[in-house]
């Protein structure tokens, strides 16, 4: 009975955000550095203490550092302007600064947190990750990770530039129109499997040499058709010119 | 000069040409044959008047080399086809080059063969210029008349007008023969979709579980609790059906019409959906808490309509860009789909897992003739 209680307690402690076992509170120096960055670059839209400004930007209370790190480290935030969807661009802040802002937002209202380290695919089962990718991710990001169109100008971005941390953060926080895949739905180990699969998919050379966007037989057929027709056309011109 | 006059002239000359004359060479006979077809050889000269020169030998060697290379590449194709590693292997390795190797070897083989024949024709065959008159259109009036009367005479000989019985019995005999020809083709298309009645039932039908509600399962057959789906998240779920060996078959092709999207809405979005449920009375009892489950099969052409936008609350179908409003009973708001996605009646049983209260209340997927 006591052992069972201890087990339940430790499992609980492991899952509660901000608990002692995982995600130890960031050093306050990070939080204050993050607050400085926030107050100079984010406060216009997200308001003082990240409470949001109506019509400009949402409240960031409770979004967690996973969301902040995804948006900032991929350059989506600070936003260039209101549009159908924030797009990936040259980041304004580096990795450390993104994590500092994340630590500040985390200190305000908690929320989903990223694990430590840059290598989040280590120990992932690629085959298992492939199964999960096809069930959960491929409908929008396509089987080759090339992304695809959504409604009204929105789109699922390509995974070509995604790092382990951004993929993990995207699953955890569900940025923009991406669904949230919390740890109850896809466990941390399964997230590692998926990341391992995506990174393997990206690093594995395309059979035949050219990937042609990895969007499948339609693109390949189009290239064969256009290139083939043009080559035949020039061959015809050459033959006609010779005789 | 018209062809006809040319041909007639050639025929008139035939009398003077003695094909048994032993002095005629083979080329004379060839020329005569061409002349009778209205072809005149204006110029004719061998490429190499003196046989066996060094230049001729060089051209012959080049053409021979092309044929040899063609065979070599074709052999390479066969060898690669059999022995080149073709199975998928991770990383940079020879298997990635399997298709290009086959394509390049076959392409080079065909190219060498073609170049060889072209070179043979252009460099070794005699140079010649032949002229043939263009044929004038239309047959002469007398030939038209003669052919027409010949055909009408055939009808007269058959006597169809005088013997109508024969024509009718011939038709009567041939009709069933025609049916024999089309029977296997059309017969294969005739099927009764209502035995068993698969269009109106999916894997969520409780009769598949001896009348008990079917559990909502992941792709591996494990049941799902409400807290397993994140807020603003979705999960593709399958009916919890197991075969007699205890293997999960709910995600197999036998129940390909059953995949369902289980969505956990945010609180305020769920409020909007609940207020909209009155638009479709059969859906009123189908949601559970902030959870809603829609069929994943698009009502337009049956593609998986599972591109879930969690902020705009839309479901998209990737095939023809149909869009469904999740907060209004999956009403189609864009694209070719005309009907709502059916909503699965959800509940959570005492054991804390999701179950389907019943099968879908309307048929899933694209329309069909007898659809109510």
Give me B286's structure tokens: 């189908």
Q: Percentage of chain B surpassing pLDDT 70? A: 96
Decide the pairing of beta strands A155-156 and B323-325.
Answer: unpaired
* Residues with Cβ within 8 Å of residue A167, at least 6 apart in sequence: A120, A159, A194, A195, A198
Averaged pLDDT, B252-265: 93
What angle is formed at CA B298 by the lines to CA B239 and CA A191, rounded to 5 degrees? 60
Q: Say if the Cβ atoms of A148 and B99 lie within 8 Å.
A: no
pLDDT of res. A83: 75
**A81 pLDDT exceeds 80?**
no
- Chain B environment of A126 (Cβ under 8 Å): 90
Averaged pLDDT, A225-229: 93
Is there a cis peptide before residue A78, judged by omega within 30 degrees of 0? yes
pLDDT of res. A53: 86
**B325 pLDDT exceeds 50?**
yes
Contact B274, B266 (CB under 8 A): no
Q: Scanning every residue of chain A, which has its alpha carbon at the shortest distance from the alpha carbon of B94?
A: A207
Contact B106, B73 (CB under 8 A): yes
User: Rounded to an integer, what distance in angstroms lies between the CA atom of residue B3 and that of residue B135?
Assistant: 6
Q: Which residues pair with B238 in a beta bridge?
A: B217
**B11 pLDDT exceeds 60?**
no
Give me B324's structure tokens: 């469904």
Give me B332's structure tokens: 């189609």
Largest CA distance in chain B: 112
Between A and B, how many CB-CB pairs are < 8 A?
81
pLDDT range class, residue A242, cuts 50, 70, 90? confident
- Chain A environment of B228 (Cβ under 8 Å): 184-185
Query: Which among B92, B318, B321 is the nearest to A205, CB-wise?
Result: B92
Q: Which of A189, A232, A17 is nearest to A108 (CA)?
A: A17
CA-to-CA separations, B79 to B73, B89, B94, B101, in angstroms, rounded: 10, 20, 14, 11
Averaged pLDDT, B164-183: 90
User: Rounded to an integer, what distance in angstroms lies between the CA atom of residue B47 and that of residue B344?
Assistant: 83
Q: Which of A104, A100, A123 is nearest to A195 (CA)?
A: A123
Assess A152–B contact: CB distance below 8 Å, yes or no.
yes
Query: How far apart are the CA of B228 and the nearest CA of chain A, in angstroms?
Result: 5
Identify the residue with better confidence: A2 or A216: A216
Averaged pLDDT, A71-80: 86
pLDDT range class, residue A22, cuts 50, 70, 90? very low
Q: Scanning every residue of chain A, which has its alpha carbon at the shortest distance from the alpha carbon of B99?
A: A208
- Chain A environment of B321 (Cβ under 8 Å): 149
Contacts 24+ apart (CB under 8 A), A19-27: A22/A113, A22/A115, A23/A113, A23/A115, A25/A107, A26/A103, A26/A106, A26/A107
Q: Which of B280, B288, B241 is nearest to B263 (CA)?
A: B288
Burial degree of A82 (CB within 10 A; 0-12, 13-18, 19+): exposed
User: Rounded to an integer, what distance in angstroms lies between the CA atom of residue A174 and that of residue B170?
Assistant: 75
User: Rounded to an integer, what distance in angstroms lies between the CA atom of residue A125 and that of residue A195?
Assistant: 9
Q: Note the pLDDT tens digit of each residue in A92-136.
A: 888 888 888 888 888 888 888 888 888 888 888 999 999 999 989
pLDDT range class, residue B1, cuts 50, 70, 90? very low
Q: Scanning every residue of chain B, which has its alpha carbon at the shortest distance from the alpha carbon of A138?
A: B307
* Residues with Cβ within 8 Å of residue A154, at least 6 apart in sequence: A84, A85, A176, A177, B309, B312
User: Rounded to an integer, what distance in angstroms lies between the CA atom of residue B293 and that of residue B289?
Assistant: 12
- Other residues' Cβ atoms within 10 Å of the Cβ of residue A104: 26
Averaged pLDDT, A220-232: 91
Which residues does B contribute to its contact with A (CB < 8 Å)?
88, 90-92, 95-100, 219, 227-236, 304, 306-312, 314, 316, 318, 321, 323, 334
Q: Scanning every residue of chain A, which has its alpha carbon at the shortest distance from the alpha carbon of B100?
A: A208
CA-to-CA separations, B236 to B50, B275, B284, B366, in angstroms, rounded: 82, 25, 22, 19
**B348 pLDDT exceeds 80?**
yes
**B9 pLDDT exceeds 60?**
no
Q: Which residues pair with A227 in a beta bridge?
A: none
**ipTM of the modeled complex:** 0.77
pLDDT range class, residue A2, cuts 50, 70, 90? low
Q: Say if the Cβ atoms of B321 and A149 lie within 8 Å.
A: yes
Assess A134–B contact: CB distance below 8 Å, yes or no.
no
Assess A136–B contact: CB distance below 8 Å, yes or no.
yes
pLDDT of res. A146: 85
pLDDT of res. A12: 54
Averaged pLDDT, B189-200: 81
pLDDT range class, residue A9, cuts 50, 70, 90? low
- Chain B environment of A206 (Cβ under 8 Å): 96
Q: Which of A74, A68, A146, A149 is nearest to B309 (CA)?
A: A149
pLDDT of res. B81: 96
What angle is formed at CA A11 by the lines to CA A5 and CA A13, rounded to 5 degrees? 100
* Residues with Cβ within 8 Å of residue B145, at least 6 apart in sequence: none
Burial degree of A145 (CB within 10 A; 0-12, 13-18, 19+): buried
Q: Percentage of chain B surpassing pLDDT 90? A: 61
pLDDT range class, residue A18, cuts 50, 70, 90? very low
Contact B284, B277 (CB under 8 A): yes
Q: Say if the Cβ atoms of B233 and A174 lie within 8 Å.
A: yes
Residue appearing with tokens 């339609």: A218
For residue B237, give the 3-state DSSP assignment.
strand
Give me B101's structure tokens: 């190797």
**B190 pLDDT exceeds 60?**
yes
Give me A107's structure tokens: 């200190």
Give me A105's structure tokens: 């937002």
Q: Say if the Cβ atoms of B316 and A131 lie within 8 Å.
A: no
Q: Say if the Cβ atoms of A151 and B228 lie within 8 Å.
A: no
Q: Which of B59, B57, B52 is nearest to B123 (CA)?
A: B59
- Other residues' Cβ atoms within 10 Å of the Cβ of residue A36: 14
Query: How far apart are the CA of A179 and the nearest CA of chain B, in angstroms?
Result: 5
pLDDT of res. B145: 94
The values of phi and psi at residue A74, to 5°, are -95, 0
Q: Note the pLDDT tens digit of each residue in B45-104.
A: 988 888 889 999 999 999 999 999 999 999 999 999 999 998 988 888 899 899 899 999
Averaged pLDDT, A164-177: 90
**pTM reported for the whole predicted model:** 0.75
Mean of the per-residue pLDDT values of chain B: 89
**A233 pLDDT exceeds 90?**
yes
Averaged pLDDT, A25-43: 80
Q: Scanning every residue of chain B, which has its alpha carbon at the shortest distance from the alpha carbon of A179?
A: B233
pLDDT range class, residue B3, cuts 50, 70, 90? very low
The values of phi and psi at residue A151, to 5°, are -85, 155
Q: Which residues pair with B39 in a beta bridge?
A: B132
Stretch among A85-89, A207-211, B148-152 having the lowest mean pLDDT: A207-211
User: Rounded to an integer, what distance in angstroms lies between the CA atom of residue A178 and that of residue A152?
Assistant: 15
Candidates B309, B313, B321, B322: best to mutate against A (most CBs of A within 10 A) is B309
* Residues with Cβ within 8 Å of residue B235, at least 6 apart in sequence: A185, B218, B224, B228, B229, B261, B262
Q: Say if the Cβ atoms of B100 and A209 lie within 8 Å.
A: yes
Largest CA distance in chain A: 96
What DSSP string describes B292-304?
Answer: EEEESB-TTT--B
In angstroms and rounded to an integer, the radius of gyration of the C-alpha atoms of chain B is 39
Give me B341's structure tokens: 């996605």
Mean of the per-residue pLDDT values of chain A: 83
Q: Note the pLDDT tens digit of each residue in A89-104.
A: 888 888 888 888 888 8
Highest mean pLDDT among B105-119, B135-149, B231-245: B105-119
What angle is formed at CA A174 by the lines to CA A171 and CA A176, rounded to 5 degrees? 140
């Amino acid at each position: 009975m006591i052992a069972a209680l201890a087990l339940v307690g430790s499992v609980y402690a492991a899952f509660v955000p901000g608990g002692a076992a995982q995600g130890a509170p960031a050093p306050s120096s990070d939080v204050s550095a993050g607050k400085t960055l926030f107050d100079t670059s984010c406060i216009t839209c997200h308001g003082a203490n990240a409470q949001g400004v109506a019509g400009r930007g949402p409240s960031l209370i409770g979004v967690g550092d996973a969301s902040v790190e995804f948006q900032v480290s991929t350059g989506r935030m600070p936003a260039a302007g209101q549009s159908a969807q924030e797009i990936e661009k040259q980041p304004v802040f580096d990795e450390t600064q993104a994590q500092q802002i994340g630590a500040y937002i985390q200190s305000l209202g908690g929320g989903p947190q990223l694990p430590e380290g840059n290598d989040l695919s280590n120990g992932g089962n690629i085959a298992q990750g492939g199964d999960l990718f096809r069930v959960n991710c491929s409908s929008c990001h396509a089987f080759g990770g090339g992304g695809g169109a959504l409604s009204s100008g929105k789109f699922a971005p390509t995974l070509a530039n995604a790092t382990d941390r951004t993929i993990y953060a995207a699953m955890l926080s569900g940025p923009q129109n991406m669904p949230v895949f919390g740890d109850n739905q896809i466990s941390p180990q399964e997230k590692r499997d998926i990341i391992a699969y995506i990174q393997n998919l990206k690093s594995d050379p395309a059979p035949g040499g050219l990937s042609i966007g990895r969007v499948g037989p339609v693109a390949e057929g189009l290239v064969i058709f256009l290139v083939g027709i043009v080559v035949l056309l020039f061959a015809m011109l050459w033959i006609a010119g010779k005789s | 000069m018209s062809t006809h006059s040319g041909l007639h002239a050639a025929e008139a000359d035939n009398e003077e040409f003695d094909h048994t004359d032993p002095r005629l060479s083979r080329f004379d006979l060839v020329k005569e044959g061409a002349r009778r077809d209205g072809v005149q050889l204006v110029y004719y000269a061998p490429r190499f008047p003196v046989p066996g020169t060094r230049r001729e030998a060089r051209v012959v060697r080049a053409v021979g080399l092309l044929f040899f290379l063609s065979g070599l590449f074709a052999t390479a194709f066969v060898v690669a086809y059999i022995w080149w590693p073709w199975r998928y292997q991770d990383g940079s390795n020879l298997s990635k080059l399997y298709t290009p190797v086959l394509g390049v070897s076959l392409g080079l083989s065909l190219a060498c063969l073609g170049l060889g024949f072209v070179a043979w024709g252009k460099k070794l065959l005699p140079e010649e210029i032949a002229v043939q008159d263009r044929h004038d259109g239309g047959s002469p009036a007398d030939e038209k008349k003669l052919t027409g009367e010949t055909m009408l005479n055939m009808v007269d000989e058959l006597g169809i007008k005088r013997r109508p019985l024969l024509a009718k019995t011939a038709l009567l005999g041939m009709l069933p023969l025609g049916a024999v020809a089309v029977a296997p083709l059309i017969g294969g298309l005739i099927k009764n979709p209502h035995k068993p009645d698969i269009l109106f039932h999916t894997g969520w039908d409780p009769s598949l579980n001896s009348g008990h509600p079917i559990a909502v399962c992941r792709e591996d057959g494990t049941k799902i609790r409400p807290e397993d789906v994140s807020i603003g998240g979705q999960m593709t779920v399958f009916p919890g059906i197991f075969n007699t060996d205890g293997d999960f078959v709910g995600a197999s092709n036998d129940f390909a019409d059953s995949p369902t999207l289980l969505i956990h809405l945010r609180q305020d979005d769920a409020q909007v959906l609940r207020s909209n449920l009155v638009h479709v009375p059969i859906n009123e009892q189908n949601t559970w808490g902030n959870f809603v489950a829609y069929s994943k099969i698009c009502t337009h052409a049956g593609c998986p309509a599972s591109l879930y936008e969690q902020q705009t609350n839309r479901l998209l179908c990737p095939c023809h860009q149909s869009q469904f409003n999740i907060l209004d009973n999956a009403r189609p708001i864009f694209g070719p789909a005309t009907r709502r996605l059916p909503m699965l009646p959800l509940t959570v049983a005492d054991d804390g897992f999701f179950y389907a209260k019943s099968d879908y209340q309307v048929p899933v997927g694209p329309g069909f003739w007898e659809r109510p």
